[in-house]
């Protein structure tokens, strides 16, 4: 069937004084129902802006200047704002990095969950019961009592579980999770990720998971898109990606992992940084940092090349049809 979410050639412009930057510059991907798509990249590459754009939550200085977003076939960018407010927190649930800043410190957790439920539940639903069920579903012990507690009475991991409960209040078809575990301790991260996976499976939701962490991708994603400087430069199934990352940037991400275990560990930023987006790129955006760059890379932006189920935006793959296995020790 058709994908749950289809993002096509999405473009975002943000005004900066007299100038503008393009943090999202022609991004396309799709997410099937019941599947998790991970958008992977360093900070500043446009991942969060992509998520904000498709929920139509861009800052006032920003606007979508091209492309389309379809949720279950419906044109999200064409919806009137009132309808979009129902979609947000309804068919699209959202979780962000910092649970502390998303929760209201002077309202009980129960009141906040019930507020979300009231916006989206049909009349007749007993909100307190429903809220209790949600806290239970996200693994918070003694939920009936905990509903009366304030956010400060919860640990970081428990607060993030509360955020997940609030995001689930509208029974979303799509969950957007932007670095949902980055602010948490490592052991808690794994628990919260496992919870997200369990809930996503049980409810058959699609999930857009934004992360800079290869370990997170390994744990939760079905498919992956690697983002760099406003563009997706590689996409494919997670298994193919881990067996043979294709783009030189992807390979640098793996090579930057400490030790040989590519699956468990957190990502260290590879040397160099994402270029500023306040300029027009002529060639490949990664050329300055790419150890494989050659003359053509500075002159011509690479197009997409397909290798089986994977796709990569890099001149090296012109005319190549079979990915070579990737051995991290020999990375570039």
Of 10-18, 41-49, 215-223, 278-286, which segment contacts Mg ion by CB under 5 A? 41-49
Distance of CA 307 to the CA centre of its chain: 24
Give the closest residue to 99 by CA, choosing from 173, 165, 168: 165
Q: What are the C-alpha distances in Å from 57 to residues 79, 91, 94, 157?
A: 13, 15, 11, 25
Partner interacting with residue 316 (select from Mg ion, ligand SF4, none; CB below 5-8 Å by kind): ligand SF4
Residue closest to Mg ion (Cβ): 48
Site for ligand SF4 in 235-254 (CB under 6 A): 248
Which helix or strand (DSSP H or E) is residue 175 part of?
Answer: strand 174-178
Residues 118-177 that bind Mg ion (CB under 5 A): none
Q: Please state the closest distance from residue 99 (CB atom) to Mg ion, in A.
A: 15
Question: Nearer Cβ to Mg ion, position 213 or 240?
Answer: 213
Among 162, 286, 310, 323, the residue binding ligand SF4 under the rule CB under 6 A is 286
Q: What is the DSSP letter of 315?
A: G
Write out the binding residues for ligand SF4, residues 265-284 only, by CB under 6 A.
284
Q: Which does 297 bind (CB under 5 to 8 A by kind): Mg ion, ligand SF4, none?
A: ligand SF4
Phi, psi angle pair for 132, to nearest 5°: -60, -45
Select from 325, 182, 186 the least CA-distant residue to 246. 325
Determine which residue in the list 30, 36, 48, 173 makes contact with Mg ion, applying CB under 5 A: 48
Q: How far is the CB of 301 from ligand SF4 (least distance, A)?
A: 8
Q: Residue 179 or residue 234: which is nearer to Mg ion going by CB?
A: 179
Instruction: Report the DSSP beta bridge partners of residue 318.
Output: none
Report the residue number, 116 or 233, with the smaller CB distance to Mg ion: 233
Nearer to ligand SF4, 45 or 135 (CB): 45
User: Which of Mg ion, ligand SF4, none binds 48 (CB below 5-8 Å, type-dependent)?
Assistant: Mg ion
> What's the sign of the alpha-carbon dihedral 76, 91, 127, 181?
negative
By beta-carbon proximity to ligand SF4, the closer residue of 128 and 293 is 293
3-state SS, residue 126: coil
Tell me the C-alpha distance between 287 and 31, whole Å. Answer: 29
8 Å CB contact between 162 and 103: yes
Out of Mg ion, ligand SF4, none, what residue 292 binds, judged by CB under 5 to 8 A for its kind, is ligand SF4
220 binds ligand SF4 (CB under 6 A): no
* Spatial separation of the C-alpha atoms in residues 179 and 51, rounded to whole Å: 11
DSSP notation for 224-258? EEEEETTEEEEEEEHHHHHH---SHHHHHHHHTSS
DSSP code of residue 12: E
- Sign of the Cα pseudo-torsion (86, 91, 92, 93, in order): positive
Residues in contact with ligand SF4, shown as a per-residue x/- string from 287 to 316 under the rule CB under 6 A: x--x-xx---x----x-----------xxx
| Contact partner at residue 37 from Mg ion, ligand SF4, none, CB < 5 to 8 Å by partner kind | none
How far is 104 from 114, CA to CA, in rounded Å? Answer: 13
Residues that bind ligand SF4 in the complex, under the rule CB under 6 A:
248, 284, 286-287, 290, 292-293, 297, 302, 314-316
Residues that bind Mg ion in the complex, under the rule CB under 5 A:
48
């Amino acid at each position: 069937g058709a994908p749950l979410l289809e993002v096509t050639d999405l473009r975002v412009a943000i005004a900066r004084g007299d100038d503008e930057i393009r943090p999202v510059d022609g991004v396309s991907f799709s997410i099937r129902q019941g599947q998790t798509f991970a958008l992977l990249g360093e900070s500043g590459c446009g991942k969060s802006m992509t998520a904000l754009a498709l929920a139509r939550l861009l800052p006032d200085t920003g606007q979508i200047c091209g492309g389309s977003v379809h949720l279950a076939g419906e044109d999200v960018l064409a919806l009137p704002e009132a309808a979009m407010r129902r979609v947000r927190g309804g068919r699209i649930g959202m979780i962000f990095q910092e649970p502390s800043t998303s929760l209201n410190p002077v309202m009980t957790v129960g009141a906040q969950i019930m507020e979300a439920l009231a916006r989206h539940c049909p009349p007749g639903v007993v909100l307190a019961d429903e809220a209790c069920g949600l806290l239970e579903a996200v693994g918070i012990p003694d939920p009936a009592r905990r509903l009366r507690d304030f956010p400060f009475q919860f640990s970081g991991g428990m607060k993030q579980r509360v955020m997940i409960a609030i995001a689930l209040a509208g029974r979303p078809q799509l969950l957007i999770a932007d670095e949902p575990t980055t602010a948490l301790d490592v052991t808690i991260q794994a628990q919260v990720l496992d919870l997200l996976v369990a809930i996503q499976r049980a409810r058959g939701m699609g999930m857009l998971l934004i992360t800079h962490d290869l370990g997170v991708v390994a744990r939760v994603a079905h498919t992956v898109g690697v983002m760099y400087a406003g563009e997706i430069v590689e996409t494919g199934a997670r298994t193919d990606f881990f067996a043979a990352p294709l783009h030189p940037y992807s390979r640098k991400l793996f090579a930057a992992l400490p030790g040989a275990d590519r699956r468990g560990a957190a990502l260290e930023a590879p040397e160099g940084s994402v270029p500023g987006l306040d300029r027009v790129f002529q060639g490949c955006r990664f050329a300055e940092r790419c150890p494989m760059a050659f003359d053509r890379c500075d002159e011509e932006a690479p197009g997409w090349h397909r290798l089986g189920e994977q796709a990569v935006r890099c001149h090296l793959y012109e005319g190549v049809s079979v990915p070579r296995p990737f051995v991290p020790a020999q990375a570039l």
